[in-house]
Amino acid sequence: MTQHHEPAGEDLLRGKIYTGDGVSVSYDAPRCTHVANCVRGLPAVFRPKERPWIQLDNEPSAERVAEIVRTCPTGALHYALHGGPPEAPAVPTTLTPVMDGPLTLRGDLVIQTPEGEVREVRAALCRCGASNNKPFCDGTHARIGWKSDQPGGQAAADQRGDGHREEGQQADRAEQP
Ligand code: SF4
Ligand code: FES
């Protein structure tokens, strides 16, 4: 394990990057489990039926965009406020098993992946063993009907929404943060 510093906002950007006035947002599609917190929180900006599906010009407040991105439980979405502070990791770190779904984490995370060490502040890790993007959950648990047989945590339905499967498709269910 190497010594590390707090990640800068840009360090967390992964996948496709969308740039607006005062804020950039990145979307790492394989890590999206389509729970649609983003779509519920800012429907003018996160528009899965349209291209581009993230339309930052529709929200004047960069802070508001950042606030909604932080509700993404999987870390598929990240933001960098231009000249602003990076997302602060949750303290203490929390681990929440989602019933019939992944293990979600929030905190100052260092995750070992096949591509190397990844700094994170939010992540959903596969518990079913069937993800094609391990160690991250990619939503396969819902498609195969995996059961955790574990009470508590967040309801399975929250992770199983008929949400957007890809950009441009509908996202109409949401996980409660
Ligand atoms: S995991 Fe949910 S909140 Fe995050 S990008 Fe996908 S639909 Fe949006
Ligand atoms: S828990 Fe989601 S793919 Fe395994």
Nearest residue (by CA) to ligand 1, atom 1, is 32
Q: How far apart are alpha carbons 170 and 164 in whole angstroms?
A: 5
Residue keyed to tokens 């899965």: 48
Report whether the peptide linkage leading into residue 52 is cis, meaning its omega lies within 30 degrees of zero. yes
**∠ at Cα 53 (72, 101), nearest 5°?**
35
Architecture of domain 9-81: 2-Layer Sandwich (3.30)
Q: Where in the chain is the domain with CATH 3.40.5.90?
A: 94-159
For atom 6 of ligand 1, the residue with the nearest CA is 32
Provide DSSP, 25-49. Answer: EEE-GGG-----HHHHH-TTTB-TT
Residue 123 β-bridge partners: 105
The predicted-structure confidence for 84-105, as pLDDT tens digits, reads as follows 999 999 999 999 999 999 999 9
Does 56 contact ligand 1 (Cβ within 6 A)? Answer: no
Q: Is the CB of 25 under 6 A from ligand 1?
A: no
Q: Tens place of pLDDT for every residue, the chain, 177 residues?
A: 444 555 667 889 999 999 999 999 999 999 999 989 999 999 999 999 999 999 999 999 999 999 999 999 999 999 999 999 999 999 999 999 999 999 999 999 999 999 999 999 999 999 999 999 999 999 999 999 999 986 555 554 444 443 444 333 333 333 333
Domain 94-159 sits in which CATH superfamily?
Answer: CDGSH iron-sulfur domain, mitoNEET-type (3.40.5.90)
Looking at residue 151, its pLDDT comes to: 56
Which residues are CB-contacts of 56 (< 8 A; sequence separation ≥ 6)? 18, 19, 20, 21, 23, 25, 45, 65
Q: What is the pTM of this model?
A: 0.84
